[in-house]
Each structure stands twice: as structure tokens, then as C-alpha cells.
Chains A and B, each alone.
Chain A
Amino acid sequence: MQTSIIKKFAMAISGLFLIIFLLQHFIINVTSIFSESIFNQFSHFMGKNFVVQFIAQPILIFGVIFHFVMGFYLEIQNRRATKYEYFKENGSANSSWMSRNMIWSGLVILSFLVLHFIDFWIPEMNYKYIEFLPDDPNRYYEELVHKFEMPWRVLLYCISFGLLSMHLLHGFSSALKSMGANKYYSKFVKNLIHLYSIGIPLGFCFIALYHFISHI
């Protein structure tokens, strides 16, 4: 963990792990558009399954915390390595805005995650493990739809996913490079990366907007 390359390798693994998790999360959420009962079944399974709750969930929480703590740590180290700012610096001449501002898109995602925890995760933990409320396999859909009734929440949701898309547009391919992939990997892989980085966040926004619009 001392060497720059190992730190970046770990950062890449945690980023790719989050990418896989996000896909799984998306697949479950998207069912809420097609079928209330499928969404409820999925959510109930995820919420009750021992492996998901007590093995996958702690790994996920560790993965998220590891990712942003390492992100902050690398950012601090990198700032220390650049002692002075230039008077004039033309960053856009040689690199994308996303790539230079991963920490800012990351911070927006982090504040979104805080909101997300308050919205869904804490009530869920409270429901199941603190107040031990009666098991209701059909409550999930209602809870989800209720959250998307407030326009401000939908707006915050969409802004955050916009920044997540930018984070991924640089991060996904960056992670592959950190793990040793050549820049000129195939066009197919490149398209897949773009499809994921734009499609998944857009899909999440669509789900939020769909429930918001269906409500009014």
C-alpha cells in the first residue's frame, strides 16, 4: 500500500467493484417501472437474504468507504506534490474537465450518498433491526414512489447522477489503465464503457422522473 502504483491499483479495484454494484442496483430499480410486484419481490429478497445483508452489504459499505477515503488521500498527496500553482494554466488544452475534477464529482456523489442513506438505508435498518416492525413484503414500491414525489429530491437526484456520469466517463477507462490495460483497447470495449457511463446514470434519472411524473 506504500507505492503509488499499488494505491492506484486498489483505487481501480474499488471503482470497478462500485461499477458492478451500480449495475445490479440499476437492474433492480428499473423493474419498478414495469412491475410493482417484481420490484417488491427483488427488494424483499435483497432485504431478507442473509448473504446479501450480512456478507455483501458490509463488503459494499467497506468498498464505498475505502473508495472515497483513498480518493481523498490521493488528492491530498497529489496536491502536496504540486507545490505552486501556475499563474496561467491551460488544462483544457490537454485533458478533459472530468479527468481533472474527479474529486469534485466524487464529493457531489458522496453528498448524494449521505442523502441516499438518510432516505433509504437508515429507515430500512430502523425498520428491520431497531424497531423490528412487522415484515411486509409489499412495502418497498410505495416507499420508493413516495420519495420521488418531492421535486427537489428528483432534481438533486438528477444532478448527482449527471456528475456520476462524468465521474465514470473518466473513471471507468482510468481504472482499466491503472490496472495495466493499454489505451488502445478495442472500439467495442470503448463503446461499452461509454454506454455504461452515460446509460446507467441516465437510466436512474429516468426512473426518478418516471415516478415523479406518474404521481402528478
Chain B
Amino acid sequence: MKLKLKIWRQKNAKSKGKIVNYDIDNISPDMSFLEMLDVLNADLILKNDEPVSFDHDCREGICGSCSLFINGQAHGPDRLVTTCQLHMRKFNDGDTIYIEPFRAKAFPVIKDLVVDRSAFDRIQHAGGYISINTSGNTQDANSIPVNKNDADLAFDAATCIGCGACVATCKNSSAMLFVGAKVSQYSLLPQGQTEASRRVVNMVNQMDLEGFGNCSNTGACEVECPKGISLDNIARMNRDFIKAKISS
């Protein structure tokens, strides 16, 4: 395959970036998107040019590192896949492909296509955990019965890999889907009840502090999320938050 790439290049967090054009040839349709970028970078290195920086780690859709906005969509045109799982066969020979970093005020660009998503970590620190005293006499989790439906919903919510595609794709740069998933995965389980009110309030407050936008319920996040996290998690978080506010 022969492709025209239009890639966002930016030296560092302070510099002004721009779109740079690259022509690339001999791309196999069976390559992943990141492998295509590896080929480009190998070319650039041979030409003594600066390779394009992009985030990646597991390359199998579980770590949430990869984060490209491809032809106007987070993680590209395919559904329920991360960028590392996207294949070149989803494109046609001769296509022009725009490759941009995930954009949000709360996700500043560090270099080229790499953005700083530590805002998500800080939201997690604000309450995305369960305080269990590991004193040696902790109760076995399996001894607490959990309704099958709740267990499934909690598990679905827990599949969020924190990639940030929901934020990148949202016209408001809202992080509600991510935070909704992280709140729900605990609030659905008996183990998460003790801290439920505090958790939702603290995580939402941190989310607002980081400068993410408000949710307009457009549903774009749910469509672009590589893990298919449901919008219902946002509704659940809204319920939990309002309940917590009323009872406090």
C-alpha cells in the first residue's frame, strides 16, 4: 500500500506544532497501524530525521498507552479496537491519513503524538481504590456473594484501560465515561460500598479540577471507546453523585 500521512509534529510541550506530510510505500495491509509508523520511523532514522514519537506498550489492546486520533476518530475508523489493534487493511491504497494527538486542555502534548494523561492518574488517586487492611486476617473476597448481573456490569466497567479516547473524542473534552467506569466498577460491588459516597464525590471533584469539560450526552465516547464502556456508567455516576450530595 502507498499512503500519504499528515502527522502532527511538535518538538516539545512549549513549542508550536504543525502538520507535516510524509509519503510512505510498501505497507502491508496486515500490518498494525503502529507497525506502519515503525516503518516510517525506520525510514526517518535512515534519513537522519527525527522519528515520530508516539505512545505504545503492550500492542495488544490492554495497557491503554496507544492514543492516536486517526482521520478524525480516536483509535481510527474501526470499532472496539485500540490503535495498536487497528490494521492497515481498514484503509485503501492511496489514502491520505491524518494522525493527530489526543486533544484536550487536560491532556497537554509532550512531544509529537505523545500527550500527558496523568490527569487520569490523579483522578484515580482521589478515590479509585478500596481501602483494605492487609493485616493477614482479610476476608476472602469469594466469601461475599455478588449478584451475577452486578458482577457482570462491574466487570464490564473494569475493562476500561484508561486510554483517554473518550476525552479525545468528546466535543467538550469530558472525562465522564472514564470516571463513570472507574466509579461504577466499585459502586456495583459490596466491597465498594464503604467508601462509595466519598469516592464518587472526590473523583468527580478531581475531574473538574483537572479542567475536563461537562458531559452533553452526545454518546460519542461510548462509540469510540475501544472497550465498549456503556454510557449507563455515566448515568450511574450521576445517580451516585446526587445521592451522595443529598445524604451528606
Q: A18-26, A39-47, A82-90, A156-164: which one contacts chain B?
A: A82-90
Given A82-B104, A100-B218, A183 contacting B172 (CB threshold 8 A)? no
Residues 90-147 of B contacting A (Cβ, < 8 Å): 98, 100, 103-106
Residues of A within 8 A of B213 (CB): 4, 77-78, 80-82
What CA separation (Å) do A174 and B214 show in the bound complex?
A: 13
| A209 at interface by CB-CB < 8 Å | no
Q: Produce 1/0 per residue, B133-177, CB < 8 A to A.
A: 000000000000000000000000000000000000101111010
B72 touches A3 (CB 8 A): no
Q: B98 to A99, Cβ gap below 8 A?
A: no
Least CB separation from B234: chain A residue: A177
Complex CA gap A87/B96 in Å reads: 13
How far apart sit A87 and B172, CA to CA, in the bound complex (Å)?
A: 16
The reply to whether B104 and A81 form a contact with Cβ atoms under 8 Å apart is yes
Asked whether, in the complex, the Cβ of B232 is within 8 Å of the Cβ of A95, the reply is: no
In whole Å, how far is B243's beta carbon from the nearest beta carbon of chain A? Answer: 9
Q: Is B33 an interface residue (CB 8 A)?
A: no
Choose, from A5-13, A57-65, A133-141, A190-198, the stretch at the interface. Answer: A5-13
Q: In the complex, A4 Cα to B215 Cα: how many Å? A: 8
**Contact B245–A6 (Cβ < 8 Å):** yes
Which of A7, A81, A96 lies at the interface centre, i.e. has the most chain B CB atoms within 10 A of its CB?
Answer: A81
- Is B51 close to A, CB under 8 A? no
CA distance A170 to B215 in the complex (A): 13
Give the A interface residue count (CB, 8 A).
Answer: 41
Q: Which of A153-177 contact B (CB under 8 A)?
A: 170, 173-174, 177
Knowing A4-B207, A102-B216, A178-B217, say if A83 contacts B103 (CB, 8 Å): yes
- Determine the chain B residues whose CB is within 8 A of the CB of A214 once the complex forms: none
Q: Is B208 a contact partner of A9 (Cβ separation < 8 A)?
A: no
B6 sits at the interface (CB 8 A): yes
Complex alpha-carbon distance, A20 and B89, angstroms: 51
B218 with A9: CB separation less than 8 A:
no
Least CB separation from A174: chain B residue:
B217
Inter-subunit contact B223/A82 (CB<8 Å): no
A184 to B230, CA, bound (A): 10
Does A181 lie at the interface of the complex (its beta carbon under 8 Å from any beta carbon of B)? yes
Smallest CB gap from A89: residue in B: B72
B197 located at the interface, meaning its Cβ lies under 8 Å from any Cβ of chain A in the complex? no
Distance in Å from the Cβ of A188 to the closest Cβ of chain B?
Answer: 18
* Residues of the A chain whose Cβ atoms lie less than 8 Å from the Cβ of B207: 4
Contact with A81, one of B71, B212, B218 (Cβ below 8 angstroms): B212
Q: Find out whether the CB atom of B219 lies under 8 angstroms from the CB atom of A94.
A: yes
Q: A4-B214, A83-B105, A102-B216 are in contact. Are A180 and B235 (CB under 8 A)?
A: yes
Which residues from chain B contact A90 at a C-beta distance below 8 Å?
71-73
The minimal Cβ–Cβ distance linking B5 to chain A, given in whole angstroms, is 12
A179 on the interface (CB 8 Å rule)?
Answer: yes
| In the complex, per-residue mask of A80-114: 1 if CB is within 8 Å of any chain B CB, else 0 | 11111111111101111001101000000000000
Query: A96–B8 Cα gap in the complex (Å)?
Result: 27
Q: Which residues of B contact A179 (CB under 8 A)?
A: 238, 242
Identify the A interface with B (CB < 8 A): 2-9, 74, 77-78, 80-91, 93-96, 99-100, 102, 170, 173-174, 177-184
Given pairs A87-B6, A95-B218, 10 additional interface contacts (CB within 8 A): A8-B215, A74-B214, A78-B174, A80-B105, A81-B106, A90-B71, A90-B72, A93-B77, A94-B73, A177-B238
- 27 contacts across the A-B interface (CB closer than 8 A): A3-B241, A4-B207, A5-B237, A6-B242, A78-B213, A80-B213, A81-B104, A83-B104, A86-B98, A87-B8, A87-B98, A89-B72, A93-B72, A95-B220, A170-B217, A173-B217, A177-B217, A177-B231, A177-B234, A178-B215, A179-B238, A179-B242, A180-B238, A182-B232, A182-B236, A183-B232, A183-B235
